Amino acid sequence: MRFWNILIALCLILSAGLGLVVLAGGARGLLAPALQAELVVQDFPIPQGFGLDPERVAGFMADELGNRLKDDLAIRITLKADVLKKVREIVLPRLMNVVAVNSMMHDIPELSAILDIAAFKRTVQGTIRSAKDAQDVALTVPSALLAEVDGKKIKVITTSTGLQALTLGDMKAGESHQIIVWMDATSVGVDMGRNVKLGAADGQRGRVLLSGDQGWFGADVESLRWSRGLIGALLAGVLLFGLLSLMLPILTRRQGGS
């Protein structure tokens, strides 16, 4: 019976002590693999009506060029009246149509980012570190649209399983990368903790520490500060109870022997 008392007391002590270490924020280094990512998920709200309307831009450019044809003296002198009319009524509408303007805007990276920004709903950002050399490091992020690594835009690829991923290349020991990933609306219904994965060549698996995701068991601990104190007090009580359970038989035996 004493063996089971000691075993239960030790389990209580270890579990309560580990829980207190987690609440104190000191558990991230426990059994940490060489490759690790610390990421934060956040909503990305967009103001209503924000963005560029290609149809409106095309209409404005067509009207503006039409007015320039009328007002520019050099053009009127160079071109005949019938040619000006054909340019204004035939050429400009064909050049400045919605499809052509939309394509041109997407060909400009800065404008393309503004056009796509209306589709952004969430972001994942944080740091990826490697304690040792790693080759072909990659991070899967579902529904990713745009990504930056160390302030530089990188291409988002689609894996054979249909997940979006970022390729970070080789990492040296002690090297780290700052990443930001923008995701679309389909990411809202995805379990980010299960789908954001980190790995490298030769089957090396990294660990992803993800915070900010909603809907997980115990998520209120992140927002309700008093709940942390409550859980900490309960763990401290369990820890004390385990220590007393372990020490009481020893003290009783010593007193009986004396």
pLDDT at 258: 57
Domain co-membership, 38 together with 124: yes
Domain co-membership, 131 together with 193: yes
Q: What share of the chain is helix, strand, coil (3-state, %, to 5)?
A: 50, 25, 25
For 125, residues 6+ apart whose C-beta sits below 8 A from its C-beta are: 39, 40, 42, 178, 179, 180, 181
| 235 located within any domain | yes
Domain co-membership, 139 together with 196: yes
pLDDT at 215: 67
Q: Which helix (H) or strand (E) holds 17?
A: helix 2-23
Instruction: Report the distance separating Cα 86 and Cα 92, nearest Å.
Output: 9
**Predicted model pTM:** 0.66
Domain co-membership, 102 together with 134: no
Look-up: residue for tokens 């003290």? 251
pLDDT at 257: 60
Domain co-membership, 128 together with 40: yes
Domain stop point among 64, 97, 116: 116
Instruction: Report the distance separating Cα 34 and Cα 131, nearest Å.
Output: 5
Which domain range does residue 258 map to?
Answer: 1-31+223-258
Q: For residue 212, which of 235, 179, 188 has the smallest C-alpha distance? A: 188
Q: For residue 198, which of 135, 140, 157, 124 has the smallest C-alpha distance? A: 140
Burial class (CB in 10 A: 0-12, 13-18, 19+), 192: buried
Domain stop point among 116, 150, 168: 116
What SS3 state is found at 213?
coil
Domain co-membership, 39 together with 138: yes
Reading the chain (258 residues) residue by residue, the pLDDT tens digits are: 467 777 887 888 888 888 888 777 777 777 778 899 999 999 888 777 676 777 777 777 777 777 777 777 777 777 777 887 887 778 877 777 777 777 777 777 767 767 777 788 899 999 999 999 999 999 999 999 889 999 998 989 998 888 899 999 999 999 999 999 999 888 887 888 888 999 999 889 999 988 887 667 777 777 677 778 888 888 888 888 888 888 877 777 776 665
Q: For residue 141, which of 177, 114, 115, 179 has the smallest C-alpha distance? A: 179
Domain co-membership, 130 together with 161: yes
The 10s digit of each residue's pLDDT in 138-167 is: 999 999 988 999 999 898 999 888 889 999
Domain stop point among 116, 131, 148: 116
Number of domains in the chain: 3
| 101 located within any domain | yes
